Amino acid sequence: MKSALFKLHIAIFLWGFTGVLGSLISLNEGLLVWWRLLITITTLWLLSFRNKEIRKLSGKDFIKIASIGCLVGLHWLCFYGSIKYSNVSIALTCLATTALLSAFIEPIFFKRRISLFEISLGLLALMGIALIYFSNLDFSTGIYIGLLAALFIVFASVLNKKYVTGYRPQTVTLYQITGAFICISALMPLYNHLFPARSLFPTKEDWLWLLILSWLCTVVTYDLYISALKKVSAFTVNLTTTLEPVYGILLAFAINHENKYFNYSFYIGFLLIITAVVIQMLRSMRKKGNDIVIEDAAVA
């Protein structure tokens, strides 16, 4: 149990580190995501061939799973775009709203009513976003893009719950990352035309950060996460996952010294968002018998 909990915290910590790595890579967000996906997908397919874990899908199921992967790719694109247009702390704060956004979006797909309590929590989080927004107007573009990143991953999560069943997590991840790569590759010509990059290729230093991002913070972290899920309760997993933005922001403060950009309004706003998220998560687990698990290991 202690070993599984340690693995879980390491996984969440490393996911928090992905934002800092994104800020260190000189490529724009489009190329950063494309190279990350290329390295990750190559590694995952090689490991799957070696371990004989590849499960063939019907054409219909592949399109369904790969299409959701496209949303994951767009999430990564917006997440790193938010970092490039603002900073790591802003992007992670926006990403922290995903649990609350799910509370509003899931009822639409599963035909449930939205409770007044969830609306109240949404307003609390909105107050937090407003505090951060109006105290950091220079980062407004990054906030918009960060919230869009949160929306993309929420839709991916909801569609996974609704349409993707009966497959091992490893299979879903393999084909969704494949779908994300296909989607981003198709977008790249237009994206590079609209947002020209100084270079299409990583520098020597970029390669180091990309390999850490793709291997350590994606492939290895996902393996740690899946291993922990087998022994740790859903309650612990969900509560620990809320630490991702906290870990990430602390790392951004320590490595990028981002704390110099913020005043007390940022900290109050962040606290309001995290409070709303934790309350919603505890409430959801109480209602659903403590069986909720964060499914999207590709959040960051």
pLDDT in tens, 41-75: 999 999 998 887 778 888 888 999 999 999 999 99
d(CA 174, CA 177): 5
Q: Is the per-residue pLDDT at 298 higher than 90? A: no
Q: What pLDDT is stored for residue 287 in this prediction?
A: 64
Does the pLDDT of residue 135 top 60, yes or no?
yes
User: Can you tell me the distance from the alpha carbon of 5 to that of 92, in angstroms, rounded to the nearest whole number?
Assistant: 23
For residue 195, the model assigns a pLDDT of 93
Q: How many helices (H) and strands (E) does the chain have?
A: 13, 0
- pLDDT value at position 295? 47
Average pLDDT over residues 200-223: 94
Would you state the pLDDT for residue 292?
Answer: 46
Average pLDDT of the segment spanning 196-223: 94
Looking at per-residue pLDDT, the higher value among 213 and 160 belongs to 213
> Region 173-202: what's the mean pLDDT?
94
Q: What mean pLDDT comes out for the span 184-213? A: 95
Cα torsion angle, 18, 20, 23, 26, sign:
negative
3-state SS class at 139: helix
Query: pLDDT band at residue 259, thresholds of 50, 70 and 90?
Result: very high
CA–CA gap between residue 180 and residue 39 (Å, rounded): 13
- Which token pair is 273? 């968002």
DSSP 232: S
pLDDT value at position 300? Answer: 66
Contact call for residues 222 and 10 (beta carbons, < 8 A): no
pLDDT above 90 coverage of the chain, percent: 56
pLDDT at 243: 84
Return the sign of the alpha-carbon dihedral for residues 247, 250, 256, 262.
positive
Q: Decide which of 278 and 78 is more confident.
A: 78
pLDDT value at position 178?
A: 96
Low-confidence winner among 153-157, 162-166, 204-208, 289-293 (lowest mean pLDDT)? 289-293
15-48 residue pLDDT tens: 999 999 999 999 999 999 999 999 999 999 999 9
Closest CA to 86 of 174, 147, 130, 1: 147
Provide the residue count of the chain.
300
Residue 94 pLDDT > 60, yes or no? yes
CA distance 175 to 181: 10
Q: Confidence class of residue 168 from pLDDT cuts 50, 70 and 90?
A: confident
Look at residue 141 in the predicted model and tell me its pLDDT. 95
Mean pLDDT of the region 124-149: 92
- Over 50: is that where the pLDDT of 294 sits? no
Local confidence band at 280 (pLDDT 50, 70, 90 cut-offs): confident
What pLDDT sits at residue 101?
A: 87
Question: Between 77 and 239, whose confidence is greater?
Answer: 77
Of residues 163 and 76, more confidently modeled: 76
| Gap between the Cα atoms of 29 and 77, Å rounded | 6
